Amino acid sequence: MNRSRDARRYRCFVTTGPDFPDEAAAPVVPLLDAAKDSQSSLPALTSVERDSSEDYTAELTQLPRPARLYTREEVLERSSPVPKVSGIYAWYFDEVPPGVDGRDCHAIAEGAMLYVGIAPKEPPRNGTTPSTQTLWNRLRYHYRGNAYGSTLRLTLGCHLADNLGVALRRVGSGNRLTFTHQGERQISEWMSRHARVTWVQTDSPWLPETHAIKQLNLPLNLRGNSHHPYHPTLKALRAEHRTTARALPIA
C-alpha cells in the first residue's frame, strides 16, 4: 500500500540534548525553541479531584518531567527496573513516525512524548474478571509482543509499514492481525533504536490517563483522544491496514 503523501520522516531534537545523526532522507524538524527550557512548552497541568483530599498532580507532572527514560534492553533484562505494580506510562521517541507532525508535542533531550498508556485497564463494570496486568507485563509486551496485543505496536507498524517493508496480515486461525513474525521483529528493532519509556506508579491509572490525554498533545493515542486533530487520520490509517489485511490470505 502506498501512502507516499505521509512518507516524510521527522527527527526531533533540542540543542541542549545529545546529538542525533542526520539522515539525508529525514529532514530535521525542531520540536522546541532551542532558546527555551523544554518544560516551558508544557500546558498548565490542572489538578482533578480524585476525592476530597487527593489529586492527580503527581502523575500528570512526572510523566512530562521524567527523572530518566528506559530503553528496550533495560526493560527486558532479567533485573528489569519496571515494577510489578499498576501505573501509567509515557513513550518518548527520538524519531517521530512518518506522517505524524510532532512539532507541537512536549519534548525533552531524548525525544518527544507521543503516547501514554496504563496497566491494568479500567475494571469492567459488568462484573467480569478485571485485568491483572502490571507495568512490568505491559511494557515488556509493548517492546517484544505483537500488534494483536499492543495498540502501540499496531499504530507504529501502520506508520512504519512503507519504511520497514512490513504489512499487517491475518495469522494463526485468521482471526488475529499482526505484522507477522519477521515484521514484528523489525518493529521491535525500530523501537529499540527510537522508543524510550517512563512510568509512574498509581493505584487507579485509568483516572489520570483520562486527564493526561486531555491535557497533553499525544497524537498516537486513539481512545479518548477524539479532540486531537490527528485522531481522524490515525483512525482511518489503522482501519485501512486492517481492511487490507482481512482481504489477504493467512500469512
Task: Tell me the average pLDDT across 17-46.
Answer: 37
Residue of 37 and 141 predicted with greater confidence = 141
Position 54 scores a pLDDT of 53
Residue of 140 and 19 predicted with greater confidence = 140
Give the global pTM. 0.81
Computed over every residue of the chain, the mean pLDDT equals 84
Percent of the residues in the chain that have a pLDDT greater than 90, as a whole number? 74
Q: What is the DSSP letter of 35?
A: T
Beta strands at 10-11 and 95-96: parallel, antiparallel or unpaired: antiparallel
- Ranking 34-38, 83-87, 211-215, 236-240 by mean pLDDT, the lowest is 34-38
Collapsing DSSP to helix, strand or coil, 142 comes out as helix
Task: Tell me the average pLDDT across 127-150.
Answer: 97
Task: Tell me the average pLDDT across 13-19.
Answer: 33
Q: 34 pLDDT exceeds 50?
A: no
Distance between CA atoms of residues 218 and 112, nearest Å: 10
42 confidence band (pLDDT: 50, 70, 90):
low
Cβ contacts of 219-223, under 8 Å, gap ≥ 24: 219/100, 219/101, 219/102, 219/105, 219/114, 220/91, 220/97, 220/100, 220/114, 220/115, 220/152, 220/155, 220/156, 221/115, 221/116, 222/151, 222/155, 223/151
Q: 1 pLDDT exceeds 80?
A: no
Q: 106 pLDDT exceeds 80?
A: yes
Q: What is the DSSP letter of 121?
A: P
